[in-house]
Homo-oligomer: A and B are copies of this chain.
Amino acid sequence: MRYQVEQPDPCSKGRIGLLTTNHAEIQTPAFMPVGSLGPVKGLESDDLQKLGFPLILNNAYHLYLRPGHKIVAEMGGLHAFTGWPGAILTDSGGFQIFSLAKLCDVTDDGVTFQSHIDGSRHFITPEKAIEIEEALGADIIMVLDQCVALPTGREVIQESVRRTKLWAERCQASRRRTDQALFGIVQGGLDPDLRLDSARELATLGFDGYAVGGLSVGEGKADMYAVLDLTVPELPEKKPRYLMGVGLPEDLVEGVARGIDLFDCVVPSRHGRTGSLFTASGRVVIKQAQYAVDERPVDPACACPVCRRYSRAYLHHLFAVKEMLGARLNTIHNLWYFSDLMRRIREALVEGRFAAFREAFYRDHDRQSEMTTGAANGEPELYSELHRSCHT
């Protein structure tokens, strides 16, 4: 894997880069759709390629449990098994073990947990995580890290930072394949000192790329952005930086502004399946009765294959009758929105107008407050402060 910063933004920490893997060239900043078990639910490889995604995320935890990494390896690795010709990044499963699995028991050796599927008991060490990810054969693999649920005590976070570094070293030491890139993961909760420690420690270990983990776990957006403000400058400038499990459209804009190159999130696909559709003018909740006789496309300004062909009324009908085609079409629309947003962000960076882009993004955002949910509500003022710091 090679990574090249091609153009830093003069008005933010944003940057245009080119990530070259064995299976694809990825212009960054980029968003990775999530196919936990292989496919993005309901979508084929062709769909993702048409949507403009050269890189997707598969999840080692899920694939280790089903069908098993050895079967995937026997079938020629993830690319051959899933029929995806582009690049793949596998999450090590650290986050899923701590969020999905039952009865986690963590020591420095590794983590013992029960499968969320059948309750079977498993023991994963850093070495085992690498063995699994090497068997799966993604282009980019992640170290095993220890995530902690927030809020929690400083000691717990400190311990997880220490262990995450320890595990990162062991992951590095246990690698056998030389054709995969390995990314380290920064932990540290919302504690500024521990985040700095973690970032610096990881940086000295020398990874092919660096991820900021342990965010988007319920903290407020201001907290998340503050962690990025603090952490990203500690990461090697010439390596790609990946914000794990994030996020909503505004998080992508803010992440890019803080120097993030890669994102992944289930938001576009999961929101698609639940009928929550992203548009330039806010969120369309397709199950609402008002859409039953609405002949317009989801977003009249959208050029996606769904908006070109189908009406809100039809998508409302598909959702109402629980037709899986509805989940598929909604996911395609949302992923197009995310792909297009990243394309517009890159274009703005290339043309030196990212600050103006960011401002325009929030003008639309403020106008349509329903576009944001949960922690985002009520925070446009904060964003406005943040994004104007350079533009003036």
Q: Identify the A interface with B (CB < 8 A).
A: 37-39, 41-45, 66-67, 71, 74-76, 81-83, 292-293, 295, 309-311, 313-314, 316-318, 320-321, 323-325, 327-329
The answer on a CB contact under 8 Å between B323 and A38 is: yes
Contacts of A292 in B (CB 8 A): 67, 71
Residues of B within 8 A of A295 (CB): 75-76
CB distance from A127 to the nearest CB of B (A): 25
**B contact residues around A329 at 8 Å (CB):** 44
Contacts beyond the supplied A42-B325, A82-B314, A83-B309: 13 A-B pairs with Cβ under 8 Å = A41-B324, A42-B42, A44-B325, A44-B328, A44-B329, A66-B320, A67-B316, A71-B313, A75-B311, A81-B313, A81-B314, A81-B317, A324-B327
List residues of chain B with CB within 8 A of the CB of A325.
39, 41-44
> How distant is A242 from chain B, measured CB to nearest CB, in Å?
25
Residue on B with the closest CB to A312? Answer: B75
Which chain B positions have C-beta within 8 A of A38?
314, 317-318, 323
- Tell me the number of copies of this protein: 2
> Within 8 Å CB of A71, what residues of B?
292-293, 313, 317
Bound-state Cα–Cα, A328 to B325, Å: 9
**A67, A71, A313, A325 pick with most chain B CB within 10 angstroms:** A325
Residue of B nearest to A332 (CB): B44
Q: Which residue of B lies closest to A66 (CB)?
A: B321
**How far apart are the CA atoms of A44 and B42 in the complex, in Å?**
12
B311 touching A67, Cβ below 8 Å: no
Chain B residue nearest to A82 in the complex (CB): B314
CA of A328 to CA of B71, assembled, Å: 23
Contacts of A316 on B, CB cut-off 8 Å?
A: 67
Given contacts A313-B75, A328-B328, contact A323 B293 (CB under 8 A): no
Listed from nearest, the 8 A-B pairs whose CB atoms lie closest are A67-B317, A39-B325, A324-B324, A83-B309, A42-B324, A75-B313, A37-B321, A66-B321
Contact of A323 among B41, B76, B311, B313 (CB under 8 A): B41
CA A309 – CA B45 in complex, angstroms? 10
| In the complex, residue of chain B having the shortest beta-carbon distance to the beta carbon of A294 | B75
Residue of B nearest to A328 (CB): B42
Closest residue to A76 on the B side, CB-wise?
A: B295
Q: Which residue from B67, B309, B310, B324 sits with its C-beta under 8 Å from A320?
A: B67
Contacts of A75 in B (CB 8 A): 293, 295, 311, 313-314
Q: How far is the CB of A105 from chain B (nearest CB, A)?
A: 26
| Complex-state Cα separation, A66 to B313, whole angstroms | 12
Residues of chain B within 8 A (CB-CB) of A323 are 37-39, 41
How far is the CB of A383 from the nearest CB of chain B, in Å?
36
In angstroms, Cα B293 to Cα A53, docked, is: 29
Q: Measured between C-beta atoms, what is the minimum distance from A269 to chain B in Å?
A: 11
